[in-house]
């Protein structure tokens, strides 16, 4: 790229070079050290999710309640924002680069460094963008905090705690990516969803803790709840309504049998899909008889597209909620207070949309969220055709959005045909029958990688939408379960790769770690 045509983001280069960041290891980091840093960050993450925000009143409205399982945070804690700012910054920058609004060639080392540095600065900006609205009716300062420091300073205290928690997540994600194994974002999502699934299966406390234990308010966990209802119901009650409660659930019991079966089914289908791959034969250019295979998985871009889509939908819900309820935004012409953008009933303590465009983009929430209203002739002021339209819109957005983000992701993470060709070239391998030239190898890979990226993006988006439609235990959301299974499989493969490189150092050059 010529000097005169460089991106305007190069103006940020002096700031990027001085920006605080986790330093890269100078040499190879051994497997034990990587495991230690990864486990330490996980422990810190769970500790932070149990540190509640100081000075918040008793009533907390969670703007990300419907997306909490995949936001890798805990409502009301200093991890309230979770990974939201990091993923949102990545979405914005990818869209701008993909649309050529920001002119950066990510195949060039200098441009890629500017891209990554700008993303770090944008993360800080997005932390403030997502933290500041939280104090306007959602995380209200308590009277004691207001009396201690004053009204405006009380809001600043809460915002500073949200900023600190989100910034720690950002630093831990960077620490794991450089000194640990895998991605910090993915690891935190898997940890949160796994915790939700575990409690959804084995929680013996009543679903509504303020009410006594009964058939209408059984233990919240699927296993103790099913056992309690079958042992307490008479035969007539089981025939009358018991089967529906046991299999589909009701208001006091959400972790029914169908969500459990849906969880198992999604687990099996994701494991099968993750194992599907195309293998290109490779031979060493100098060592006769040395052969191998380069696997191109069906889910080539991994689960990242679904993470980006979920964060995008969470931000759409947040801004729709703000435009409808915030005193300063609800008076904006054509946008503020408009039901067609998103209608909310915050008086009932809910931040989930009940109508408007945001409702059509909200989570399907299992069979009870769409199929039962269709069969019963509608519910909540919506006709059956509106529920059917919501399913179509939600699945379409998940599939096409995942395709778009999958294409952006492989170009920004050295997973494109040209980058993979250079990695194979450096390892000394080549495809038998083709000249040992990265350009030739790149053209061969272009037959597979772009097509597999689109198919894989569509597949992972469809799986996520289908999982949300079936429902899962623990209110983890189908998308959260899909992500967790994929993350754990990828983590297992990365651990195996790290162990292989530890035993055979020559493999580090092939994997691009040296």
pTM of the model: 0.75
pLDDT at site 62: 80
Residue 504 has what pLDDT? 60
pLDDT on residue 1? 44
Other residues' Cβ atoms within 10 Å of the Cβ of residue 513: 13
| The CATH number fitting domain 261-514, selected from 1.10.600.10, 1.10.3720.10, 1.10.760.10, 1.10.3370.10 | 1.10.3370.10
How confident is residue 503, by pLDDT bands cut at 50, 70 and 90?
low
User: Bigger pLDDT: 431 or 226?
Assistant: 226
pLDDT at site 140: 83
pLDDT band at 449 (very low <50, low <70, confident <90, very high): confident
List pLDDT tens digits, range 120-139: 899 999 999 888 888 876 78
Average pLDDT estimate for 461-472: 86
pLDDT score at 395: 94
Structure tokens at 46: 């769970």
Lowest mean pLDDT among 1-15, 257-271, 374-388, 472-486: 1-15
Query: Mean of the pLDDT values across residues 354-359?
Result: 91
Distance of alpha carbon 63 from alpha carbon 322, whole angstroms: 9
> pLDDT-based confidence at 112, cuts 50/70/90?
confident
* Residues carrying CATH 1.10.3370.10, the chain: 32-180, 261-514
Q: Residue 402: pLDDT above 80?
A: yes
Query: What number is the average pLDDT over the span 31-55?
Result: 90
SS (H, E, C) 315-366: HHHHHHHHHHHCCCCCCCCCCCCCCCCCECCHHHCCCCCCECHHHHCCCCCC
- CA–CA dist 176, 172 (Å, integer): 6
The helices-and-strands tally (H runs, E runs) of the chain is 20, 5
Mean pLDDT score of the chain: 83
Least confident of 290-294, 453-457, 481-485: 290-294
In this predicted structure, the answer to whether residue 399 has a pLDDT above a threshold of 50 is yes
Q: What is the pLDDT of residue 3?
A: 47
What mean pLDDT do residues 216-223 have?
87
Percentage of the chain exceeding pLDDT 90: 15
CATH 3.40.190.150 fits 32-180, yes or no: no
Split at pLDDT 50, 70, 90, the class of 196 is: confident
């Amino acid at each position: 790229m010529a000097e005169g045509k460089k991106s305007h983001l190069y103006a940020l280069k002096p700031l990027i070079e001085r920006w605080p960041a986790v330093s890269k290891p100078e040499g190879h980091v051994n497997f034990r050290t990587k495991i230690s840093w990864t486990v330490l960050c996980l422990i810190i993450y769970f500790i932070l999710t149990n540190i509640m925000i100081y000075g918040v009143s008793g009533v907390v409205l969670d703007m990300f309640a419907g997306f909490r399982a995949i936001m890798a945070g805990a409502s009301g804690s200093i991890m309230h924002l979770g990974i939201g700012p990091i993923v949102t910054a990545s979405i914005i920058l990818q869209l701008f680069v993909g649309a050529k609004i920001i002119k950066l060639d990510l195949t060039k080392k200098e441009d890629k460094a500017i891209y990554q540095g700008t993303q770090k600065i944008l993360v800080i900006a997005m932390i403030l963008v997502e933290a500041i609205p939280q104090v306007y009716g959602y995380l209200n300062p308590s009277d004691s905090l207001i009396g201690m420091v004053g009204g405006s300073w009380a809001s600043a205290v809460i915002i500073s705690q949200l900023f600190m928690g989100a910034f720690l997540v950002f630093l831990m994600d960077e620490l794991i990516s450089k000194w640990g194994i895998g991605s910090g974002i993915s690891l935190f999502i898997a940890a949160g969803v796994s915790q939700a699934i575990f409690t959804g299966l084995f929680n013996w406390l009543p679903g509504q803790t303020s009410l006594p234990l009964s058939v209408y308010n059984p233990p919240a966990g699927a296993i103790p709840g099913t056992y309690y209802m079958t042992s307490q119901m008479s035969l007539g009650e089981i025939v009358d309504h018991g089967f529906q409660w046991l299999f589909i659930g009701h208001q006091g019991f959400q972790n029914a049998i169908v969500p459990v079966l849906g969880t198992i089914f999604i687990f099996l289908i994701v494991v099968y899909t993750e194992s599907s791959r195309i293998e290109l034969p490779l031979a060493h250019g100098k060592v006769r008889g040395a052969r191998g295979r380069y696997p191109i998985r069906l889910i080539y871009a991994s689960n990242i597209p679904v993470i980006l889509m979920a964060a995008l939908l969470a931000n759409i819900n947040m801004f729709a909620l703000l435009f409808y309820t915030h005193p300063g935004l609800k008076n904006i012409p054509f946008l503020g207070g408009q039901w067609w953008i998103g209608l909310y009933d915050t008086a009932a303590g809910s931040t989930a949309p009940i109508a408007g465009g945001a409702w059509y983009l909200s989570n399907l929430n299992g069979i009870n969220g769409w199929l039962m209203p269709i069969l019963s002739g509608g519910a909540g002021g919506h006709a059956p055709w509106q529920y059917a339209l919501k399913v179509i819109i939600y699945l379409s957005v998940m599939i096409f959005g995942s395709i778009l983000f999958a294409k952006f992701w492989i170009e920004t993470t050295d997973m494109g045909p040209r980058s993979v060709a250079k990695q194979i070239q450096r390892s000394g391998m080549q495809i038998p029958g083709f000249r040992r030239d990265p350009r030739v190898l790149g053209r061969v890979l272009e037959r597979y990688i772009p097509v597999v990226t689109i198919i894989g993006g569509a597949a992972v988006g469809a799986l996520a939408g289908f999982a949300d439609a079936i429902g899962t235990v623990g209110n983890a959301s189908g998308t959260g379960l899909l992500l967790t299974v994929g993350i754990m499989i990828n983590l297992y493969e990365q651990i195996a790769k790290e162990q292989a490189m530890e035993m055979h150092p020559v493999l580090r050059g092939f994997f691009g770690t040296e």
